[in-house]
Structure 1
Amino acid sequence: MGNVQKKGITSGSFAELARKHVDIEAFKAQHSSLEQFTNCVIQTTSTEELYMILSYSRKTVNQTGDGHFSPMAAYHKGRDMLLILDVARYKYPFHWLPRMTVWDAMNKIDKETDETRGKHVDIEAFKTQHSSLEQFTNCVIQTTSTEELYMILSYSRKTVNQGRDMLLILDVARYKYPFHWLPRMTVWDVMNEIDKETDETRGFMMVRKKIS
């Protein structure tokens, strides 16, 4: 981890690490094509069951730094642009990039590997409005009963009281909130809050650990 924090991680190592936890399909830009990339973008943004992580050079998109990983969340066909959910939000907010610019950025050679960068695609997602409290509870029990599943929650933050029947939340914004317990019913309620961007409820994702 110390080496990763100092030098970062290559696309291949990222995919290898991810395969220990989820099913993932990785593509190097040099072994792919613009048509395949575009088809994957359309496929990913047409379903709630796939996610795409881009590996690209920041230099090509006029940002500081070089090699970077971030998920792609949406595709605007009319403007031919991709919505990048930059993981370094302290540095760059979520932003749109032209599809061709992203393709060019993925085709830059990674000095560590002498190969191009690329994309990584897969997960099982649920919207609470299309799910039920029983299904959610069963997924919680299933996830915490095995080392092969992980659950990621999408919810609206609320002030809550401590109590029993609680879930341990590993908040990714640890600089803001440490890991904390929330009542299961409260989590269900906050996942049912409407997301103003989509006019739909939030939800949860079941991530299956890949069995080697």
Structure 2
Amino acid sequence: MNAAQADEFYARLAADRPNPKSDLEYVNSYTLLVAVVLSAQATDIGVNKATGPLFARVRDPAAMVALGEANLREAIRTIGLYKTKAKNVIALSEILLARHGGQVPEERAALEALPGVGRKTANVVLNVAFGHPTIAVDTHCFRLGNRTGLAPGKTVLEVEEGLLKITPARWGRDAHHYLILHGRYVCKARKPECHLCVVNDLCQFEAKTI
């Protein structure tokens, strides 16, 4: 896919979903960070069910540390890997208090130094909380990058680098939201609904369903 086609690709996704946003529910940059950490290998719906009551009473690192690991485990026990995630959330909260004045840092290196935070999580926080034009490549972005021909790659990093290169600057802020939502609701893994796809004619997927 060339640059002009990529621009048209995003323009159509933007027209289809003019106000894209994360399906995760949060109230500030800290609760966003926690929600993204909890979302690893879990659905956004499942995370939201657990964090709704949690974020009603815990909205900053100090409150999370005061809550304690045992109580946090109980609050998120419906989420996969909840024991490890609870440990990481308490640990990252302690680090935020000790090293960052209780604030979520806006630097990638500082974010990735937090327990439970990898490149994808850092990309989400930098993009959603701070407006950076990063692209968090989840399973949907990875699938679309390869399936459509927008940014083929064998690894998540290759697809991310390809997307950053091909994505026009005007779409950078919302690019990964467009891709994630299109992959979640239209370009599904097992049964892509190509008849509903607004970029069908630009897509290079050979096994289109129409």
TM-score class normalised by the smaller sequence: under 0.3
TM-score for both structures, normalised by structure 1: 0.25
Q: Which has the higher strand share?
A: 1
